[in-house]
């Protein structure tokens, strides 16, 4: 069997890992050999996942981290590194969305969405890079963006803007940090079904959105694994500043 996606000996950190795609990404990285630090604002939400990974013979640690706070991010890195060692791979997954018409969007809601999805991703990436540079070791940063950074839908203006910003930030950091051996790339998922959104896809509005996807179906979390492992492993050693779109043709259909 090919070892091209082997992550043995690597340490990964996944933000927003208590549910949804973050939880899935942590499982995927661990299954391919990485020790995984999983983060969320409330550490207790992560204990079940860590127990599951330990039961599978994998190394993992639960870490409290609020990406809105640079102090919390630094403390989270300290805890992850103390438990697992220096971090090689960061999956910048933490994010939120608030659904409201732009005319009625309160300033506080705008700030919360943009600060979590864009400022938080920047702070997590910067902290990772600072430590990688100080240790004179490269690393991989994978930003989880969205097709809504490439196209838009209604009532999520700050999310659209933040994900577009995250894609451009990915390119900027890739250019700045390539000299240090740090690769910065992004994945833009389309409509992916998770436990958190299953109910919506059964509604009339959800079904209308599915009808716009050329493959006429939702994606599954496992269908992001190829992109994740490519960018996290030596298979993607000559990639930086890239964005991999995994969306069943949705963005192509919207051009």
Calculate the CA 4 to chain-centre distance. Answer: 21
Positions marked catalytic: 159
Question: CA-CA distance, 126 to 142, in Å (whole number)?
Answer: 13
User: Are the C-beta atoms of 117 and 96 separated by less than 8 Å?
Assistant: yes
Q: Which strands form 89-92's sheet, in the order they lie side by side?
A: 60-64, 35-40, 11-14, 89-92, 139-144, 182-189, 243-246
DSSP sequence for 8-53: TT-EEEESSTTSHHHHHHHHHHHHTT-EEEEEESSGGGGHHHHHHH
For residues 146 and 47, give the distance between their C-alpha atoms in angstroms, rounded to a whole number: 28
Beta-ladder partners of 167? none
As a whole number of angstroms, the distance between CA 138 and CA 119 comes to: 23
Residue 152 makes CB contacts below 8 A (sequence gap 6+) with: 160
């Amino acid at each position: 069997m090919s070892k091209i996606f082997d992550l043995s000996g690597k340490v990964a950190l996944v933000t927003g890992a208590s549910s949804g795609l973050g939880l899935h990404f942590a499982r995927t990285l661990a299954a391919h050999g990485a020790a995984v630090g999983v983060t969320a604002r409330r550490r207790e939400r992560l204990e079940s996942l860590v127990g599951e990974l330990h039961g599978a013979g994998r190394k993992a640690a639960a870490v409290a981290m609020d990406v809105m706070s640079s102090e919390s991010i630094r403390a989270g890195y300290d805890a992850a590194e103390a438990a697992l060692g220096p971090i090689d791979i960061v999956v910048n997954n933490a994010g939120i969305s608030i659904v409201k018409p732009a005319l009625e969007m309160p300033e506080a809601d705008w700030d919360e969405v943009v600060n979590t999805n864009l400022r938080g991703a920047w702070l997590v990436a910067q902290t990772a890079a600072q430590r990688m540079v100080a240790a004179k070791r490269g690393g991989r940063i994978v930003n989880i963006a969205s097709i809504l950074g490439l196209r838009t839908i209604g009532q999520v203006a700050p999310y659209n803007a933040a994900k577009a910003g995250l894609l451009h930030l990915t390119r900027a950091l890739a250019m700045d940090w390539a000299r240090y051996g740090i690769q910065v790339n992004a994945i833009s998922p389309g409509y992916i079904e998770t436990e958190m959104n299953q109910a919506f896809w059964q509604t009339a509005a959800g079904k209308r959105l599915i009808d716009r996807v050329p493959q006429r179906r939702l994606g599954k979390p496992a269908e992001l694994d190829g992109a994740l492992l490519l960018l996290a492993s030596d298979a993607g050693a000559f990639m930086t500043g890239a964005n991999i779109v995994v969306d069943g043709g949705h963005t192509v259909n919207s051009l």
